[in-house]
Amino acid sequence: MNKELVIVFVKNIKLGKVKTRLAKTIGNQGAFEVYSDLVKVTENATENLKIDKYIYFSDAVVNTKWQNDFKTTQNGADLGERMKNAFENGFDAGYNRIVLIGSDLPDIEAKHIEVGLNKLKETDVVFGPAEDGGYYLIGLSKMHECVFNNKPWSQTNLLKETLTELQKNNITFSTLEVLNDIDTIEDLVASNFYKNNLELQEKIKELND
């Protein structure tokens, strides 16, 4: 059995339920279009990985996505609990290097996932830092529940607090390059993902004219 696993957390693409901060400026339909394209980026980044994948949907499994991979739904009261449960399922299934990513990163590539998994040969935990102070990737080589418990989710000090706790507990960690996710209109227009996507630009323009 392959000892490496990639977990993908993906929100079900529903109008009014995705990219709500972005929707405040470009509307629910615009946010829906942006998130739909971001999920495609994530699909492309994971498509050719020769690594097992578990896809965790927020509400309900969509069988037309990630057709050859294991799919289920997220379980837990908050993001920390949902991630912890997903990692526990992976370790219980016999994997010993597991990386989890979200599905709203315009610049995610297969190399980020592969480097993250390689780092887990040397350290207990790996993070892909996000520009907003959180992280776009987390990987574990064994279970460390402290990473997921009582953390300031969606706050700018999330990664800093998590790393401080790991240091206190002598848990080794490594980090990848910093990437930016898309939460606001400023994030969107600054991204190459948007600048190079003329079709998406046209859709947003039509919706907001």
pLDDT of amino acid 1: 56
Cα 163 to Cα 127: distance, rounded to the nearest angstrom: 9
pLDDT of amino acid 43: 94
pLDDT of amino acid 71: 97
Cβ-defined contacts of 31-36 (< 8 Å, 24+): 33/200, 33/203, 33/204, 33/207, 34/182, 34/188, 34/200, 34/204, 35/11, 35/104
Q: Mapping DSSP to helix (H, G, I), strand (E, B) and coil, where does residue 6 land?
A: strand
pLDDT of amino acid 2: 64
Residues of the chain falling short of pLDDT 70: 1-2
Q: pLDDT tens across 8-23, in order?
A: 999 999 999 999 999 9
Q: Which CATH superfamily is domain 4-208 in?
A: Spore Coat Polysaccharide Biosynthesis Protein SpsA; Chain A (3.90.550.10)
pTM metric for this prediction = 0.94
